[in-house]
Amino acid sequence: AAVAAVAPRGSARRRRWSSAPRRAGANTRANATSTKRGGEEAFPDEDGSWLVTGAAGFIGSHLVQRLLSSGAKVIAVDNIDDRGPYPPAWKEANLEVLAETARRTRAAGSRLVFSRCDARDRARLQRLFPGGDDLPTGIDDLDSVDEDDDDDSLASNPRPMPAVSRVIHLAARSGVAGANADPEGATDANVASTAVLLDLASAHRCVSFTLASSGSVYGECAVDVASGEPVASREHDATDHPTSPYAASKRAAELMARAYASLASAPSAPSASMRVTVARIFTVYGPRGRPDMAVYRFVAALGRREKIRRFGDGRSTWRDYLHVDDVVSGLLAAARRGEGGAEGGAEGG
């Protein structure tokens, strides 16, 4: 399993804020080149479908938008629950954005299927991997979706959907505070879902599996003795001292991915060619961002002409921020790592 730290180049996890360039790929450790269609990456039909979990979230919705704009076929998965930093209404609003993007990019060959299910639900996910002509397409009937309904179909599918060839697993119980309050639930959500999806991706001979992890697995960042400045985290830094249940759960998910990468590389494996990549994502900002993050809170406070609250001494909590567009570029590069025309800067084994 390769590991890529998706963070601003040369950044420390606790450095002062700086405005990250919005140019796609500018601040990621892994960049990819591919064919272009209208200025976007173009993914040919024979690539199969992309399955994206956590598709209604902040990063997930931007990732699906980029894929659709590139002409890709996407199976978007999200349970739209009320846990974590997002109210369900925000997630449903993100899905409406994706529905509009799918309609706008249909002429370019893109297609969108949405499935409202938990990323730990093996039986329901199993129905999505083979593709076919009995899957829903589009999100035209979002309000009619009943999470207790066995079908969750949103519209009839006039054309067969290609089988899933790549998985990007973003769904998680995110946030340190939430995991501290419910460590058992966070561990189950973050680790069990990874195991289920890895097993299904391997069984269905997917070509790549990308796991979104967290920069929190590095624990407290090192500090340069001479300058007192934080030192940038690197992929090979130690990750065996997590400082929160959330970080521990994400590290456990990484180890599960590494185990499946070892199994996938065995000659007898059903999917000997499946590439497994872990992307350690640091603090992200951008449109539709998390309401519990500093950038959102600062902008909201300024809009209300309120004071901005600074935590601690204002120095130990310094951070770099990475724009969501750059995170999406890094995830796509990780998913296509090692393919023709793709360049990867990931490290690991």
Q: Which residues are catalytic?
A: 246
Contact 275, 208 (CB under 8 A): yes
Any idea what the Cα angle at residue 247 is, between residues 273 and 91, rounded to 5°?
A: 80
Contact 26, 20 (CB under 8 A): yes
90: tokens are 């925000």
Contact 282, 7 (CB under 8 A): yes
Spell 242-279 as b/e; 16+ CB within 10 A means b.
bebbbbbbbbbbbebbbebbebbeeeeeebeebbbbbb
Beta bridge partners of 197: none
331: tokens are 């995830």
Measured CA to CA, the distance from residue 321 to residue 286 in angstroms comes to 10
28: tokens are 């990621």
Q: What is the DSSP code (8-state) at residue 184?
A: H
Any idea what the Cα angle at residue 277 is, between residues 108 and 86, rounded to 5°?
A: 70
Strands (E), the chain: 2-6, 36-37, 40-41, 49-53, 73-77, 111-115, 164-169, 208-214, 275-281, 284-285, 322-323
Place of tokens 């804020």: 17
For the chain, what is the total number of helices (H) and then of strands (E)?
Answer: 9, 11
Beta-carbon-side half-sphere exposure of residue 342 (alpha carbons within 13 Å): 19
Measured CA to CA, the distance from residue 302 to residue 253 in angstroms comes to 38
